[in-house]
Amino acid sequence: MKPVAFEHATAATLDEARTLLAAGAKPLAGGQSLGPMLNLRLVRPERVVDIKRLPGLRGFTESATHLTLGAATTHAEIEDGRVPDVTNGLMRHVAQGIAYRAVRNRGTLGGSLAHADPAADWPSVMAALGATLLTSDGRRIPADGFLRAPFTTALDAGEIVTAVEIPRLPPGARWGYCKINRKIGEFAKAIGIATPGRLLAGAVEGPPTLLDRVEDIPARLPWLDPAAQRLAAIAVTRAQAMRDA
């Protein structure tokens, strides 16, 4: 199927984009989810505005405590280490498991978060890391709570994600990530993530869910790989149970 005819605009500045978005234009980043939605006529915008080259959405800044990553950073840039990884390898590991390389070359971190597919990787990972989303309206929205329901976020109409502020994991801190899917590179059927202080079940029916009571977890866990991976496995089992309930 082909999309309903629409106008394609490119914004040179964030202000220009905001004007177009306020008038009802749909933001286009990597197009890896919006493209199929347009083709299937699930969305029928009169105008699409390309935001992926906006200066405010590219690049990164680092501080002692955080990495602030532009929303238009692609999965491939994270996978290749072209942006710093302050999560001791978790983000690179996640990026290389998303779809296949052609999708990763174009798909963006911000697009994935804004699309809010519960089965996607980044909404769960950013919630587990305690990240914060920065928006074109100057708001700071915690990733844990950004996804309100499947394909529904805390963004207001015309508001876009401009960057994601990701806290540094302490040096040496370990993590575990379990993604259950039919084939490598496909969307998850269940996700379990263990990061220091957080255990999360993702790819459940709704928003990623922090697990605050997991009976099997020792109180003081050494963050060694196998232990973290065991925790992630517990979380993924919980995610599957929630999904099947």
Ligand X SMILES: Cc1cc2nc3c(=O)[nH]c(=O)nc-3n(C[C@H](O)[C@H](O)[C@H](O)COP(=O)(O)OP(=O)(O)OC[C@H]3O[C@@H](n4cnc5c(N)ncnc54)[C@H](O)[C@@H]3O)c2cc1C
Nearest distance, CB of residue 245 and ligand X, angstroms: 23
Closest to ligand X by CB, 28 vs 211, is 28
Closest CA to 198 of 138, 129, 131: 129
Nearest distance, CB of residue 20 and ligand X, angstroms: 12
Nearest distance, CB of residue 209 and ligand X, angstroms: 17
Count Cβ atoms below 10 Å from residue 8 Cβ, excluding itself: 10
Closest to ligand X by CB, 163 vs 211, is 163
Nearest distance, CB of residue 198 and ligand X, angstroms: 19
Report the first-to-last Cα separation within the chain, whole angstroms.
35
Count Cβ atoms below 10 Å from residue 166 Cβ, excluding itself: 26
What type of residue is 133? L
Nearest distance, CB of residue 223 and ligand X, angstroms: 25
Closest to ligand X by CB, 69 vs 234, is 69
DSSP collapsed to 3 states, 165-214: EEECCCCCCCCEEEEECCCCCCCCCEEEEEECCEEEEECCCCCCEECCCC
Which residue in this structure is represented by tokens 């309903």? 4
Report d(CA 244, CA 35) in Å as an integer: 30
Closest to ligand X by CB, 67 vs 94, is 94
Binding residues for ligand X, rule: CB under 6 A, are 26-34, 71, 98-99, 103, 106-108, 110-112, 114-115, 120-122, 160-161, 185-187
Closest to ligand X by CB, 120 vs 178, is 120
